[in-house]
């Protein structure tokens, strides 16, 4: 069953008097526990559809349904709440908070998502997730002392610590070498399957596609195949 659907979503950017339509009516249907990879050339609109789906920018037209609710009718505050509680994000760069340790990054996310936990429970949960991503030995480290791969693992654990229903990943392996990229992709796949998360991922790396359940190709603001 689809937990997330995108129907005829359009996006037009206006630059002075010039209007550019980057999405011309995109349809997507995402199922629980599956990874959908969006691929396409630069400017095809794949990152735009991901950010619109994630509630980071509004669509110019069309409807997005998440968990049976129409997101296009929601207020900014309602969308923020969904982002904090139901969505997880992995970005191209890890975007960790530079003055927080690995453990504190995750505790902050638990606080933001409003997860009602005592301090001790929070620590246990953080320990569990860090073990899952193989970073429990670095819980007291600051981002500056982590390698690119380690940072991305922490970013993944931050994205899933509050048990989101949706995971949005924008080129999660772009800043990593091929060995680390494969490790990260295996991790995303394992977490999607074990935690029954619905994952929408943008990538331009063909080697990452075998890890996805569905591959959707975009061109010039339209779905070419695979939706």
Partner 1 sequence: MKIAWKEIKKSKSRFIILGSIVFLVSLLTFIISGLANGLSQDNAALIKDMPEGQFYMDEDADETYNLSKINEDTQDKVLKDNKDAAALSIQMGFVNDADDKQQSVAFVTSTDSDLFESVGEGEIILDESLKEKGIKVGDTLTNNQFSDDFTVKGFVDQKKFSHSPVAYINMENYKEMYRVNEMQLLFVPDQDKAQTIDGLQAFSNKDFLDTIPSYSAEQLSLNMIVWFLVVISGMLFGIFFYMMNVQKIGLYGILKAVGVKTSYLFKMMWSQMILITLIALVFSVALSQGFAMFAPEGMPFHLTIETTVQLSVVFVIIGFIGATLSGIQIKKVEPLQAIQQGEV
CB atoms within 10 A of CB 143: 19
CB of 186 to partner 1, least distance (A): 24
Pick between residue 18 and residue 144 the one whose CB is nearest to partner 1: 144
In the complex, minimum distance from the CB of residue 159 to partner 1, in angstroms, rounded to a whole number: 8
Quick one: 32 or 85, whose CB is closer to partner 1?
85
Nearer to partner 1 (CB atom), residue 159 or residue 216 = 159
In angstroms, what is the minimal distance from the CB of 89 to partner 1? Answer: 6
CA torsion 191→52→63→33, rounded to 10°? Answer: -10
Tokens of 82: 């969904």
Distance of CA 1 to the CA centre of its chain: 20
CB of residue 51 to partner 1, shortest distance in Å: 6
Which residues of the shown chain bind partner 1 in the complex (CB under 8 A)? 51, 54, 56-57, 80-81, 83-85, 87, 89, 91-100, 104, 108-109, 112-113, 142, 158, 170
The minimum distance between CB 88 and partner 1, in angstroms, equals 8
Measured from the CB atom, the residue of 4 and 87 that comes closer to partner 1 is 87
Shorter beta-carbon distance to partner 1: residue 21 or 175:
175
């Amino acid at each position: 069953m689809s937990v997330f659907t995108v129907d005829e979503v359009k996006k037009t950017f206006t630059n002075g008097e010039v209007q550019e339509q980057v999405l011309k009516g995109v349809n997507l249907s995402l199922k629980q526990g599956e990874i959908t990879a969006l691929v396409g050339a630069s400017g095809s609109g794949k990152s735009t559809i991901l950010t619109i789906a994630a509630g980071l920018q509004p669509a110019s037209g069309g409807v997005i349904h998440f968990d049976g609710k129409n997101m296009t009718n929601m207020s900014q505050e309602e969308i923020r709440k969904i982002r904090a509680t139901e969505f997880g994000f992995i970005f191209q760069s890890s975007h960790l908070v530079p003055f927080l340790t690995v453990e504190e990054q995750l505790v902050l996310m638990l606080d933001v998502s409003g997860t009602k936990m005592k301090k001790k429970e929070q620590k246990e949960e953080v320990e569990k997730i860090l073990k899952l991503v193989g970073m429990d030995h670095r819980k007291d480290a600051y981002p500056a002392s982590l390698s690119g791969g380690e940072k991305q693992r922490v970013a993944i654990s931050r994205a899933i610590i509050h048990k989101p229903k949706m995971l949005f990943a924008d080129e999660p392996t772009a800043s990593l070498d091929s060995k680390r990229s494969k490790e990260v992709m295996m991790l995303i796949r394992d977490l999607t399957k074990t935690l029954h998360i619905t994952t929408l991922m943008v990538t331009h790396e063909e080697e990452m596609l075998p890890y996805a359940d569905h591959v959707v190709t975009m061109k010039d603001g339209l779905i070419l195949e695979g939706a």
